[in-house]
Amino acid sequence: MQNLLLDGFSDVPDFAGITPEQVQPAIKYVLADNLARIEQLLLAAEPTWENTIAPLEELDNRLHEAWSCVGHLNAVVSTPALREAHNACLPQLTEYNLVLGQHDGLYQACQRIAKSPTFAALTRAQRTSINNSLLDFTLSGIALNTDQRAVFSKLSQELSRLCSTFEDNVLDATDAWQLPVSAQQLAGVPELTQVAAAEFAHSKGHSGYLLGLNFPCYHAILTYATDRNLREQMYSAYVTRASDQASARWDNGPVMVDILRHRLQLARLLGYPHHAACSVQKKMVKQPQQIHDFLQQLVTRAKPRALQELQQLTDFARQQGLEGPLQAWDVAFYSERLRQTQYAIAEEELRPYFPMPTVLDGLFTLTQRLYGVTITEHVNTTVWHDSVRFFHVTDKDGTLRAQFYMDLYARPHKRGGAWMDECRARRLRQDHTVQIPIALLNCNFAPPTGDAPALLTHDEVVTLFHEFGHGLHHMLTAVDYPQVSGINGVPWDAVELPSQFHEQWCWQAEVLPLISAHYQTGETLPQVMIERLLASRNFQSAMHMLRQLEFALFDMQIHSVSDVDTITSAWIEQTLAAVRQQVAVLLPPAYNRFQHSFSHIFAGGYAAGYYSYKWAEVLASDAFARFEEEGLFNPEVGRAFLQTILERGGEQEPMELFTQFRGRSPQIDALLRHAGIDAS
Ligand code: ZN
């Protein structure tokens, strides 16, 4: 029987022809065959790029191409059979990656190539690929002596177990909490939330309404419930999840201590003073101190404005009848009322002006004006769903540069959210032809109904531009080596630059007419609505920024200690309290244990990396400011952004690339100006 995943796809993947039955045999075969062939490759007496790395990339590409199709289909058109086949491959893939990541032979081959006289003759992208591999090997502990290596691997395993315990505690503590409420208590709460609360009660065999601590429910109550006691109850339950203030069963206090100690010990084994110093090895910002300074600078500049915003909110709450001081559980509620009073612009009001065809036309026109590439739709019969569209990206001379799929609408059995995935990376094949990149753009917008096209909120337009920015980074790359082409090899704190940069276009008075037209009358967004929309962008932006800075500073500080004994539960709490004292404009109640459910840094990949969100915004704003300075549609600036950022992928240090584009290193001023915080 033919197995599409094994035979490869000549032009584009045959998504329609892939079946769940093909998955396991194909992946199993490729993994085993790759491992066998890698051992063969490593027999070369004198490892070189040509005899070792190039064929390795070929093997890696074969696996990537097959697995990316499986992973993608499982995310967008999942069936029980496909999910089962997908999940059955996961342990084998983990094992495969573990073997390669700890492979002494591969490590030595990379080292020998890096030390050979021919290394200097390789291209920059090739050298970076080798150096990245060497760094990954080093950070995985492969260079340690046998005893240390055993300790390292034990600590790593324990750490990953601790991280899942942390996450499990958060989930279990969240799920365990329920609060029965009356209809009266739900006054002000959106109908959608009320229906969900009734269904939740019903599912538990109760009548009436039942609230849980899942984020949508918590958020809706804090934002809309007029019952202040209810808001306080929800708030205190939410911010004490998995802590000593709630059930001891899920207390993450000791788990956090263990996680931080393990990270520190791992970093020390590798020769770094602390985890933050280890983490920056793979970042754009190379010094933890630089990150501290950058965050501190933003605090200093944003705090005066945030205090004004808080005062305005407090005054407004008083007018609305608030008695006593404004509390943490009042902020979202009065903020929403204030926002509605000030901007009276409902997202829904904007929808008719953003029909999908107009938005896409505008997006593609903008792309053409900025980067000189043309986007045209092509009918492709091998898609996974009728609503999926397929496009070619061509250069001025008509050369095909990239291809992409757009899967825009929500439907059952499709993962939520919006994301860009790479289906194929650009690379030079061994036969010297170029493999054209293919991107997968996925969103979950409401589909078209009846005769009307799909209509987007402005927020959704921003999401589309964001993902398309990632897509352009992946597709317009000029790098020929897959480890560093497109978004590959781009550090975590730089990879959101193109996406956040493209968001900026949705907030320009000159661009809005390009992407909007009332779906019935064809009228572009009226001036008065443009003004209100732009004004609403910066509502409470300083308070919001300070929240993120508080998290980022806390994250940096707890990962910047060098002494294991320093790390205790009380110390973690004091560290956060001290950061808040300096940063926050409204101090939360003493029982607040936000850190006990801060999964981003304790269970996810953001440890000593939470600052990346803000850092990427700085880069995006500062890059965009050059367009503001030299003309939004200035083709030269567009070409410069294309050639120094989008085309270069991960082949060069992002700080060097940014500096090439901007003529200097990044500055925070444009971000503050765009956020309406500091006009000077
Ligand atoms: Zn993104």
**Cα of 594 to ligand 1 centre, how many Å?**
25
Looking at residues 117-126, what average pLDDT do you find? Answer: 96
* DSSP alpha helix (H) spans, 140-242: 146-176, 191-203, 215-224, 228-238
**Cα of 470 to ligand 1 centre, how many Å?**
7
* pLDDT tens digit sequence for 420-433: 999 999 999 988 99
Looking at residues 82-91, what average pLDDT do you find? Answer: 95
Local confidence band at 340 (pLDDT 50, 70, 90 cut-offs): confident
Nearest C-alpha neighbor of 331 from the set 577, 543, 591:
543
Local confidence band at 11 (pLDDT 50, 70, 90 cut-offs): confident
**Cα of 284 to ligand 1 centre, how many Å?**
16
**Cα of 462 to ligand 1 centre, how many Å?**
11
pLDDT higher than threshold 60 for residue 84? yes
* pLDDT tens digit sequence for 609-662: 999 999 999 999 999 999 999 999 999 999 999 999 999 999 999 999 999 999
Q: Which residues contact 283 (CB under 8 A, 6 or more apart)?
A: 491, 492, 493, 609, 612
> What is d(CA 668, CA 680) in angstroms, rounded to the nearest whole number?
12
Q: Phi, psi (5° rounding) for residue 439?
A: -115, 155
| pLDDT of the residue at 553 | 98
**Cα of 517 to ligand 1 centre, how many Å?**
27
**Cα of 496 to ligand 1 centre, how many Å?**
5
**Cα of 619 to ligand 1 centre, how many Å?**
14
* pLDDT tens digit sequence for 224-250: 999 999 999 999 999 999 999 998 899
What DSSP string describes 633-648? T-HHHHHHHIIIIITT
Question: Contact, 107 vs 137, CB < 8 A?
Answer: yes
**Cα of 513 to ligand 1 centre, how many Å?**
25
pLDDT higher than threshold 60 for residue 137? yes
Compute the mean pLDDT over every residue in the chain, rounded to the nearest whole number: 95
Asked if 467 is an active-site residue, the reply is: yes
- Helices 497-504, 458-475: axis angle to 10 degrees equals 140
Question: Contact, 45 vs 116, CB < 8 A?
Answer: no
DSSP H/E element including 619: helix 612-630
* DSSP alpha helix (H) spans, 344-433: 347-350, 356-371
Output the six-digit token pair for 566: 């320093």
**Cα of 467 to ligand 1 centre, how many Å?**
6
- The one catalytic residue in 167, 309, 422, 467 is 467
Local confidence band at 6 (pLDDT 50, 70, 90 cut-offs): confident
pLDDT higher than threshold 60 for residue 142? yes
* pLDDT tens digit sequence for 14-48: 999 999 999 999 999 999 999 999 999 999 999 99
Q: Is the dihedral of CA 670, 675, 679, 680 positive or negative?
A: negative
* pLDDT tens digit sequence for 149-175: 999 999 999 999 999 999 999 999 999
Query: What does DSSP assign to residue 597?
Result: G
What DSSP string describes 73-134? HHHHS--HHHHHHHHHHHHHHHHHHHHHHT-HHHHHHHHHHHHSTTGGGS-HHHHHHHHHHH
**Cα of 318 to ligand 1 centre, how many Å?**
39
| pLDDT of the residue at 346 | 67
* pLDDT tens digit sequence for 173-197: 999 999 999 999 999 999 989 999 9
DSSP H/E element including 463: helix 458-475
**Cα of 546 to ligand 1 centre, how many Å?**
21
Output the six-digit token pair for 165: 């315990």
The counts of H helices and E strands in the chain are 27, 9
Question: Contact, 551 vs 298, CB < 8 A?
Answer: no
pLDDT higher than threshold 60 for residue 1? no
pLDDT higher than threshold 80 for residue 338? yes
| pLDDT of the residue at 605 | 86
* pLDDT tens digit sequence for 512-548: 999 999 999 999 999 989 988 998 899 999 999 999 9
**Cα of 498 to ligand 1 centre, how many Å?**
9
pLDDT higher than threshold 80 for residue 680? no
127 to each of 117, 214, 363, 426, 495, how far by Cα in Å?
13, 47, 36, 17, 20
Looking at residues 262-273, what average pLDDT do you find? Answer: 98
Q: What percent of the chain has pLDDT over 90?
A: 90
